[in-house]
Structure 1
Amino acid sequence: MSVAYLQTPLGTAYIEGDADGLQIVSITNDTIPSDFVSIPEDLAIGVQQLADYFSGKRTVFDLKLNPKGTDFQKRVWEELLNVPFGRTMSYLELSRRLGDEKAIRAVAASNGKNPIWLIVPCHRIIGSDGSLTGYAGGLWRKKWLIEFEKGGLQGSLF
């Protein structure tokens, strides 16, 4: 398994994967480790696409993904990929798209366990009343991403 890091406006992105695809993309407040030398070939395109996203050059990711999770979690994560850049959707609507609005709690829990930050856009899922509920990376990051994708942060990235 290869590892890479990318400094973003929201912190340090940790990227893990191999030739079978990205398994983990997470965000931390940590700095890039001093012993990190270079981006492994298997992760270069993922790092580049993340950098392009933050520079405003990319709205859609085209990457091989290989997240680890249950079949249900993977269904939720697949459906998240259908939420367009700049748009949001409620947990209830996501549950309905998956065929069972009564599964809203399980859908929300799966959304929260998404191992591929940003690329699988769990930040685009909000409460039915429009509130920013739950986000593993912190609600301030969720708010930043939603505003960025709606064009509210253009020109103030760096």
Structure 2
Amino acid sequence: MTRKTFEHLLLKQHPTRMGAMVLARTPQGLYGVWFVGQKHFPTALGGTEAPNDALLCEAAAQIDTYLAGTRRAFDLPLDLTRGTAFQRAVWQALQSIACGQTLSYGALAVQLGQPQAVRAVAAAVGRNPLSLVVPCHRVLGVDGSLTGYAGGLERKRALLQLEQHHD
């Protein structure tokens, strides 16, 4: 994507107990939630800082309650228009994994009707632009091992542990 693509974004910096995050939105909805410095963090985000934008403030509040262990799901309008059709299908499928549950990359590929596409599914999961909100951290290796998380494996482990202790 070119820098021009990002000019319409509204941005908010948000500190969390797991590290600083950047939230981005378009007129259609929440477009990005990244840990600062994570793998695939967009380095050329254009846009306008909007620390008081209603949707970005609501997203920040929901992230805070999720990380505090009092929220199990996010209720936000999402803009999943970026990425390929395949990536968008994977990101949609991630939203069906309930809090406290996990799924393997292979099982996700089967769910998508593409059992031979495990590596492509894993790559799409890794490119998820909406960390936490679209729960890519709930996808594990076939043996249950923690593999790949753009925000780092320590965060992935902490998020999964947090979800095991949700009320």
The alignment's TM-score, normalised by the length of structure 2, stands at: 0.83
Counterpart of 1:84 in structure 2: which amino acid? A
Counterpart of 2:29 in structure 1: which amino acid? G
Number of residue-to-residue matches in the alignment:
148
Residues 37 and 104 (structure 1), Cα distance of their counterparts in 2 relative to 1, 3 Å cut? closer
1:86 paired with 2:78, answer no
1:98 paired with 2:106, answer no
- Counterpart position of 1:118: 132
Matches of 2:23 and 2:121 in 1, distance apart?
24
1:58 paired with 2:66, answer no
| Gaps in structure 1 of 5+ consecutive residues | 31-35
Matches of 1:18 and 1:136 in 2, distance apart?
22
Match of 1:119, SS state, is: coil
Runs of 4+ in 1 over 6 A off after TM superposition: none
Shift of 1:90: 0.3
Aligned residues: CA RMSD:
1.9
Shift of 1:41: 2.3
Shift of 1:19: 2.8
- Counterpart position of 1:148: 162
The alignment's TM-score, normalised by the length of structure 1, stands at: 0.87
Which of 29, 42, 48 does residue 55 from structure 2 map onto?
A: 42
Matches of 1:13 and 1:39 in 2, distance apart?
15
1:20 paired with 2:28, answer yes
Give a deviation string over 1:79-107, Cα, whole Å, max 9, x none.
Answer: 00000001111001000000011011110
Residues 98 and 37 (structure 1), Cα distance of their counterparts in 2 relative to 1, 3 Å cut? closer
Aligned-residue identity in percent: 40
| Gaps in structure 2 of 5+ consecutive residues | 1-8, 39-48
Give a deviation string over 1:105-152, Cα, whole Å, max 9, x none.
Answer: 110000000000110000000001010011111110100100111118
Matches of 2:141 and 2:97 in 1, distance apart?
15
Contact 1:12-1:28 at 8 Å conserved across structures:
yes
1:129 paired with 2:143, answer yes
